[in-house]
Amino acid sequence: MGGGEPGPTAHPDTVVRKAPDITFATGAARVVGAAPGPVTATGSVDFATGADRLDVQPPQKSTPPFGVTEPAAVLDLLRGAVKVTSYGGAEVQGIGTKRYEVDIDLGKAIAATPAERRADLHTLDGRLGDDDALWADVFVDTHGRVRRVLLPVRTSMVRPYGDDDRIPQMVSVDYSSFGAAL
């Protein structure tokens, strides 16, 4: 593996709980969001304001799946982590990371997110199951920064386990070039 360190070594709950703040503290990042369709959003996010500058391709006639164009909100979702399981090491963009399977409570994520950034999370209201829960796979580097988040396109979908042969379509959001002038 050419990525060096395989990610953080702290307890999984601690890593994921701290990752949004560590990532936001970098000030800015380059982001690439993608979903089946295909649709991609490439650009940058200013973590101080949550504002992003994204080029969405192809231009959309309707709103892409949640996450493709909301890179700050995807990080804020992690504030609602209620169950975290370490899945192992993985390389993201040539960087060693640890992958975590995360169960998220939307209400807890909204409550823990600064008020000025809650609107994007509220777009998920009514789109989840009865328990207001969703899941994600989160890849965190050795510095505690989020490098990738994978979310199901159908946010109400239950994570497939064991003999379940469903393969969910996923939204991918990658973060890189932290702190770079954007």
Q: What is the pLDDT of residues 90-100, one digit of tens each?
A: 999 999 999 99
**pLDDT recorded at residue 159:** 74
pTM of the model: 0.90
**CA-CA distance, 143 to 120, in Å (whole number)?**
27
Class of domain 12-159+166-176: mainly beta
pLDDT band of residue 25 (cuts 50, 70, 90) is very high
Output the DSSP codes for 40-92: EEEEEEETTT--EEEEEESPPSSPPPTTTT-HHHHHHHGGGEEEEEEEEEEEE
∠66-41-91 over CA atoms, to 5°? 90
Q: Judge whether residue 155 has pLDDT over 50.
A: yes
**pLDDT recorded at residue 1:** 41
∠23-29-34 over CA atoms, to 5°? 100
